[in-house]
Structure formats: structure tokens, C-alpha cells
Structure 1
């Protein structure tokens, strides 16, 4: 059996990210994260039929006395709402969850965000264990403790910082991941090369065929390397007061795209989160070049890598640049009513740039 890799996240609330195959059926490792006698397994209608029974069986075998309930939410970003949060809170109330309860978040980023927020709020905070089943969640949303739900005005505007008690990233779950979702996760992997690791970016330029083919070793390397970068940043800046904002490269543009599409179903042609971030990173890179911060050749390399990963690099048709800019004004990084964007000085050198001229942003949005 392949060894389980571990990445330690330090700081005031330290925890370990476990990466490897078979973790969703590892009852001893799952049970070791539970401090009390109540646990809520929160999943969605796509993931629960695949993995919920396995997790439940593993937990019950390891902890027969555990009072375990399962709550299944509808799948999709459009259900990451205050109503969905209320339903999760009701499930905790029905369980009679006490202060030492544990919420297991089994699914992608939507499940992880909503379950984490519910855990943060129930009795002012109970444990949350992240069980990510998508590449995107494994390398990004499950790590760092940012939890939230969406409202019509924007993405992730209502939430809390609530670090998980542990993260168990079972790489075998990626075998059932649709190809489009695997590609979406690669956008967040590429992001780490963009913001701080030029060598990793170069490795991705060579390794992306193996990643797209689902090669276990390549995926484990990409996940571990990404988590190591995020862990180091989160440890230094847990509440996003400075450096952690770099993790949002492309996200201000990407979130605006998602919100303007109304978090619509991707079946209807809307971009998913990873695809929106891919477009957002390209727009941020183009803006950086326009502002004289970065060489155009690095933007070309980014576009080429994202295309090779099967990701979009241009705005979808039908989105008004002015409407996207209005969405961007609601971004949480903005200060004193001015845009504050994550841009770069080339591959591996991202930085936060305050007071970005909206006219220049609009130019880039109009070019698409």
C-alpha cells in the first residue's frame, strides 16, 4: 500500500493534512479525530451515494458507541446558501450535538465551505474534519479554515475563519471524479506555481499529461506540493491580513464571473469555480503586463499551460464588463473603496497591489 503523506499546518490551531489512498475507509484514522460522542457526516447528493456508506461503516467499526447522523445537501454551488446552512444547523440540533461534536465534510469545496461554516457557528464552534473528494478541494478549500456561504450579491460574503481539526485527502476518490472537475482542480494547482514557485510551474508544464491521465504518483506530488505551500502561508497569516491574500490570485475576477452567472449549473454552460479562476488568473496576468509589472512572455506561458490542461482562458460570452467590475468592488480584499488585487511580476512572484485603477481593469475585461 502506498504511504500516506502528511503535511503539518502550524499556528494557534495546528492540524495535519493526510494525503493518500484508502483514507475514507481508515476507521482508526477517522475516529482519532473525534473528541466527543456526536458526529455529523455532511455530504451532497453526488458524493454521498459513492462514499458516505464507507465512511459511516469505518467510523462505526472503530467507534461503535458514536452517535452518528448523515445530512445530504443538494449538489452544486447554487445550494451553498444561508438556507443550506440553516438545514445543516437543523441537522446538528436534531442530532443533539454537544460542544465536543465533530462535523465531517465529505465532498468538494461547496460541502467543505458550508459544513465548515456550520461547525464554526454551532455552539460557537465545534470540530470540523475535512474529507475532500475533488482535486480542487484537496489543494485549496479544505485547507486553511476559510468557511462561507454565498448570497446573491457575491460569493463567500458570509462566513468565518474556522481551521479544521484534520484533513484526510483520499486520492482514490479522484478516480470517480469527472474529467472536467479534475481539470478544474488543476487550475488551483497551477496557481501555486504562479504565486511563489517557478520550479513547480515548470514541473507542471512537463507533468500535466500525467496529471490529466490520473497518474497516482503525479497527483500525490501535486497535492502535497500545493498543500505545503498553502500550509506555510496559512501558518504565517491565518486571518488573511497580508500574505494569505496571494492565494486569491485570479479569484477576484473569478468570483465576479461566478456571481454574474448567478452560480448557474455548469450543465447550462456556466463556468465552474476552477474554470473561473483559470480565466481570472489570465486576466490578472494581462492586467499585470498592462500596468508594466510583468513580462508578456510569462502570461503567454500561463495561457499555454492552462489550455494544455483543458481550461478556458477567456471570458464567457454574454458577460458585461461593467457588471463584472461592479461585482469586483464587493471583494473582501478591497480597502477604502479602492480595488486591491493580487497581481504578479511574473511566474512565481505574486503580490497584492492596492488602489488599482478601475479604468485599466475595465480595459482588460473588455478585451476578454
Structure 2
């Protein structure tokens, strides 16, 4: 994969495939936005999280000399990911006669990226979108790979589309002012990448948990770049989650821990942060794999120590019972008919699908994540 080495300057990670694009990682990157937007563009719709009005103004001011800018503030968090909010955006684009040659730019966390990407995917059956993720979670997860979506009453991200961006600008300066608990939550997806693909991520986190939580540290920058590379490698090989080769689950591997995580998020009304839910969900599938005799105690226990080392939760207080969570997991996107499917590990960095697990093993895993809460 062509890329520039990590220096004080930006790192460019190239995403190949049918719709290639670049992910630029570094600091003070706003001047690189026009090259990602590309030529022949008259209008830019800037969709931004409502609590980022000052940052959105900076982005708009950097574009206003070259483009007609339509700035649209969105609700904060998961409340942005609704059909009603998407419809408001479509109506605004229609009023401005937003054409296929124009571009959507998103500025915000994962919810903004998901919603903005879906608006771009669905307007005129697809216009270009450039993501500027402002949280660690969005940088390593939502902004790369082309998954977009909104939530429904039945669950999270059940309506969406695959729509790859024209570029991603990961300006690490946004992390300098990110609340500490939000940055820690983003490490949930980072640590997950260590378990499914890149054990060096685990070594870095376990050797320097304080540096992993420091937005200005070279360790965190390396963790960001490594996590993005993991996602790029998986997505290029299996963009639309049709499956990998030689038993590898392909893009589904990125959903490690997510089946339980999404159920917990819904049970709490999305009060829990996504990365926190992923940490608990990852421990759940590790315990499920242990109960099923798939992994040994050492690897199962390492899940708790790795996530805990950076301050992520390793247990859940159980606001919803097992049966309620099981019903929610049954409508997860990874289910096939009535059969539950979970990404588990055969060994470190070797994920596979465990389909139709024994209910006794599921209950044992649930007991393990609630026992110490």
C-alpha cells in the first residue's frame, strides 16, 4: 500500500480498490482540504456536529473563496442519525440545487460521519463526500471504509449504504481539545484492531497506556495510523462484507465485539459511548470463545487487561437482562435468518465466524461481563 513514512509532516495512507482515495493523518491539515474536494466543484455542503460551530466556521472560511458553502448544523451524537435529520439535509440540498458535481464535507464524530455519508450516498444516488473526523473513534472507524447509515427503532445502522469517501482528513489537532473520556472511548476501536489484526497495537497500549491517552504523543499517532491501516487492508479486500479468503471473515472482522455492543447501546438509549460498548462487547465474545473452547484463558484474560489499561470498562452493570439483549442481537445486521453470528478469535489476530453458538455459552459470557460490574 503506497504511503509516506510517519514524520512531523502528514502521513498519506492510500485506499485502493474501485474508488481509490487518500486518508491524510497529521496536524494543521486544513489547507489540504481543497485537493481532497477536487476540481469542478461549485458548492460544498458542510454538515457539522452542532457543538462544533466554531470549528465549522474555520472550515467554512477556508473554503469560501473557492466554493459556495452551505453550512448545516446537526444534532449532537446518535440523535443526528435519524430519517428526519437526513430528510432535513435533503431538503436543504434541494433548495440550493445541489448537483452531482458538488461535494458534501462532514465535520464531527462518528454519528456525523455516518449521517453525512448517508446523505451524500442517497442524494442524486451518490455525490462525493470528504470526511473530517474530529474524534479518535471517527478517525479510526467511521470515516474510513464507506459504511454510512442511520438508526431506526429496531436498532443501530439498519438503514444505510456503502459509499466510499473522496478523501479523509484526520487532523490530530482536533484531539487536543477532545474530552479525555471521549478520547479513551475511541481507544475501544483501537484495541479491537490489535486483537483482530495487529498485535503491535496491543504491545504499544500495554507498554504505554498513558502515552496512548495523550493526544500529542507519537504513540497515539502511531496507534491511529496502525488502526487505519488495519481497516484499509480489510476494506480493500472486502468492501461490501461478502466474506474473505481462507476462512477469514473479511470485513465482518471489523465487527468484533459489535453485536453485543450495539445491543448494549440500544438498551441504554445510547447513553454509553460506542467505544466503551465495543470494549465490553469484545470481552463478551472473548468469554464466549472461552466457553466454547475456541481460545485459551490467557488470550481471553488479555482482553480485560488490555482494555482496562487505558481506562475502558471491562464489565457492564446489566441494565438489560440476557433475554432482552439476545432479542436485540437477533436483529443485528450480522445475523442470518434466526442464526446468531459472532466474530471470535481462533488465536490472536486470527478472527473467524462462530455461527449459532450454544445458548449456555452465550449465557456464560453474559454472566462473565456482568459478574464484576
CA distance in 1, matches of 2:220, 2:93: 35
Q: Distance in 2 between matches of 1:310 and 1:199?
A: 19
The structure showing larger relative contact order (alpha-carbon pairs under 8 Å, at least 6 residues apart) is 1
1:57 to 56, 61, 85: 61
Q: 1:44 to 1:89 in 2, by over 3 A?
A: same
Question: Counterpart in 2 of 1:266?
Answer: none
> Is the contact between residue 252 and residue 280 of structure 1 (CA under 8 Å) also seen in structure 2?
yes
Cα offset, 1:306, TM superposition: 1.0
User: Is the alpha carbon distance of 1:18 and 1:324 closer, same or farther for their aligned partners in structure 2, counting shifts above 3 Å?
Assistant: same
Q: Taking structure 1 as reference, are residues 323 and 351 closer, same or farther at Cα in structure 2, changes over 3 Å only? A: same
* Contact in 2 for aligned 1:152/1:262 (Cα 8 Å): no
Does residue 1:15 correspond to 2:16, yes or no? no
> What CA distance in whole angstroms lies between the structure 2 residues aligned with 1:34 and 1:22?
22
List aligned pairs for 1:1-368, cutoff 5 A: 2-26=8-32, 28-29=34-35, 32-33=37-38, 35-49=40-54, 51-61=55-65, 63=66, 66-242=67-243, 243-263=250-270, 270-367=271-368, 368=370
SS in 1 for 2:349: coil
34 and 337 in structure 1: CA distance in 2 versus 1, 3 angstrom threshold? farther
CA offset at residue 34 of structure 1? 5.3
Q: 1:53 Cα shift?
A: 1.2
Bigger Cα displacement from structure 2, 278-287 vs 79-88: 79-88
Structure 2: which 5+ runs fail to align? 1-6, 244-249
1:333 shift after superposition: 1.3
The Cα shift of 1:359 comes to 3.6
Unaligned residue ranges in structure 1 (runs of 5+): 264-269
Deviations 1:97-141 (A, max 9, x none): 001111101000000000000000000000010100000100011
Q: Secondary structure at the match of 2:144?
A: coil
Report the secondary structure of 1:13's partner residue.
Answer: coil
Change (3 A) 1:27 1:253: closer
8 Å CA contact 2:261–2:280 kept in 1: the answer is yes
SS in 2 for 1:143: coil
Does the CA contact (< 8 Å) of 2:268 and 2:319 recur in 1? Answer: no
Helix, strand or coil: the match of 1:215?
Answer: coil
d(CA) in 1 for partners of 2:73, 2:302: 41
Task: Provide the C-alpha distance between the structure 2 equivalents of 1:34 and 1:187, rounded to a whole number of angstroms.
Answer: 37
Partner of 2:3: none
Q: CA RMSD in A?
A: 1.5
CA contact (8 A) 1:25 1:55 kept: no
Cα displacement (A) at 1:79: 2.9
Q: Runs in 1 of length 4+ with deviation above 6 angstroms?
A: none
* Contact residue 43 and residue 105 of structure 1 kept, 8 A: yes
Structure 2 counterpart SS, 1:356: coil
Q: CA deviation at 1:361?
A: 1.3
Please state how far the C-alpha of 1:173 moved relative to its aligned partner: 0.5
**1:267 alignment counterpart:** none
CA deviations over 1:45-79 (Å, ceiling 9, x no partner) = 11233x11111111124x1xx11110001102133
Partner SS state of residue 110, structure 1? helix
Q: Is the 8 A contact 2:205 2:310 kept in 1?
A: no
Q: Contact between 1:145 and 1:161, CA under 8 Å: does it hold in 2?
A: yes
CA distance in 2, matches of 1:145, 1:222: 21
* TM-score of the pair, normalised by structure 2: 0.92
TM-score of the superposed pair, with normalisation by structure 1: 0.93
